[in-house]
Amino acid sequence: MPRELQPERSDERLVRLAQKGDTAAFESLYRSNLQRIYALAMRMLRNPSAAEEATQEVFVRAWERLRSFRRDSLFSSWLHRMTVNLILDQLRARQRFDERFVEEPEAADLKPARQPRHPPAAARLDLEAAVALLPEQARMVFLLHDVEGYRHREIAGLLEIAEGTSKAHLHRARRQLRKDLAR
């Protein structure tokens, strides 16, 4: 359990302590950032187990890289970026694996649990559920742009796509969401 921390013990101070090997300080950083990081992982992966594993991996990686964190940006932003990169790497690796080694039916098993493309007409979907129904690239662009505030140029770099493609995915995502939410 984390030891009691003074209110003024800011992220910056916790980072400094964690950089020196203080795991209690790192645990405090973990607790204050956990929900945002897990939520991001969950929305990108759409699978609670995969999101939990990714979250663990992010914090382990953050610990390993903490000495290279220069404190010229917010720790939360640094961690956030690391999460996006890690998950996109995982998705790309899985896609390559699927393309090379897995037959179609098994490939479907390896992907995050998918919900039916067409939601029940009677129920008005909330945004969370509607986002989960978007095609993968459109969902990623929507999450990164409209939820997380990344610019198209950054998204293009992260997803290894053209900036125009990012805009097209966003346009498609918004149109689909408007349609689904209007049901």
Kindly state the number of chain residues that form the binding site for other proteins, as judged by CB under 8 A: 47
Among 51, 91, 140, 156, binds other proteins (CB under 8 A): 51
Residue choice 9, 65, 114, 183 for contact with other proteins (CB under 8 A) = 65
Query: What's the closest the beta carbon of residue 101 comes to other proteins, in angstroms?
Result: 12
Q: Which of 52, 59, 56 is nearest to 23 (CA)?
A: 59
User: Residue 14, interface with other proteins (CB under 8 A)?
Assistant: no
**Residue 183 Cβ, how far from other proteins at the closest point, in Å?**
13
78 makes contact with other proteins (CB under 8 A): no
25 binds other proteins (CB under 8 A): no
- What residue ranges bind other proteins (CB under 8 A)? 20-23, 26-27, 30-31, 34-36, 38-39, 42-43, 48, 51-52, 55-56, 59-61, 63-65, 67-68, 96, 99-100, 127-128, 131, 142-143, 146-148, 167, 170-171, 174, 177-178, 181-182
